[in-house]
Amino acid sequence: MPFGGKLRVTVSLEDNFTPARHRLSGRAVLITVADTGTGMSSEVLAHIFERFYSTKEARGTGLGLVTTREIVTKSGGDIWAETNPGIGTTFFVLLPWSARQPVHTDRPHLSEVPGSPETRILVVEDDPDARRCMVRTLEHKNYTVLVAASPHQAEALADAGELIDVVLIDIVLPACSGIDLARRILTRQPKACVVYVSGYDPGALVLVPDRDSFLPKPFGPSELLDCVREALARRKR
């Protein structure tokens, strides 16, 4: 909505969805997100869930909707969109309804343990929002964070000479595989441990070495910090 507008989010309980069009049948929760923006053409709409598809001239990381769809479908749900050029776009997220209450646990998180500025973490993430959240979380726990938005920046930081303890890297990058990039980084930083991050269905995990960790998106600050602490503990053994 480049000139402003309205964004409306609604949540409703639905009873009549059938598998004829969607993956769910019976009772479901429907979340709609509607804007009054520029909308999309039918041609653009047909590609919005494709990896790296972008409406920008420069090839980027895409619209972020592949990760969104993976999260929704892993939860047993469905997602689709309707759009009108010049009027706006509405996204629909359909999720299975459950009467179960969340389970709470008193188990302490490793994330409660403060970090150390002597621990240097290289964050390799092309998505600016995800990168910002990870950096803010790690710096809040006093870690020293090195930030790379591209493979070139990541390799330059690995070549800088200072010891890197953890490489936090997205598996799917627009220019190369995160797994291949991590291997190149480890030739410069052989003592580092690696935490792979991805919101895609982790079929690529067969290529992830046993000594490394995998953190599925979406994750919160505690999950990120727990995974980093576990990787550091394993590195010291």
CATH number for the domain harbouring residue 232: 3.40.50.2300
Kindly state whether residues 52 and 129 are assigned to the same domain.
no
Kindly state whether residues 21 and 86 are assigned to the same domain.
yes
Quick check: 148 and 124 in contact, CB under 8 A?
Answer: yes
Kindly state whether residues 73 and 169 are assigned to the same domain.
no
**Residue that terminates a domain, selected from 45, 63, 96:** 96
Q: Is residue 224 part of a domain?
A: yes
Q: Is residue 174 part of a domain?
A: yes
- The DSSP-derived string for 158-202 is HTTSS---EEEEESB-SSSBHHHHHHHHHHH-TT-EEEEEESS--
| Cα–Cα distance measured from residue 144 to residue 158, given in angstroms and rounded to the nearest whole number | 14
| Cα–Cα distance measured from residue 164 to residue 155, given in angstroms and rounded to the nearest whole number | 12
Q: Is residue 149 part of a domain?
A: yes
Domains in the chain, number: 2
* pLDDT, one tens digit for every residue, the chain (237 residues): 888 899 999 999 887 665 445 556 668 888 999 999 989 988 888 888 887 676 665 555 555 687 788 888 888 888 999 999 989 999 999 888 877 776 766 555 544 555 677 899 999 998 888 899 999 999 999 999 999 999 999 999 999 888 999 999 998 887 788 889 999 999 999 999 999 988 765 554 555 555 578 888 878 888 899 999 988 887 765
Kindly state whether residues 117 and 83 are assigned to the same domain.
no
**Residue that terminates a domain, selected from 96, 127, 162:** 96
Kindly state whether residues 226 and 135 are assigned to the same domain.
yes
Kindly state whether residues 114 and 227 are assigned to the same domain.
yes
Kindly state whether residues 127 and 50 are assigned to the same domain.
no
Kindly state whether residues 76 and 169 are assigned to the same domain.
no
Query: Who contacts 79 (Cβ-Cβ below 8 Å, separation ≥6)?
Result: 68, 69, 72, 73, 91, 92, 93, 94
Q: Is residue 2 part of a domain?
A: no
Residue 111: CB atoms within 10 Å: 19
Give this prediction's pTM: 0.60
**Residue range of the domain that includes 201:** 110-236
| Cα–Cα distance measured from residue 223 to residue 237, given in angstroms and rounded to the nearest whole number | 21
Kindly state whether residues 204 and 181 are assigned to the same domain.
yes
Quick check: 208 and 190 in contact, CB under 8 A?
Answer: no
pLDDT, position 20: 44
Task: Name the DSSP letter for residue 232.
Answer: H
pLDDT, position 107: 53
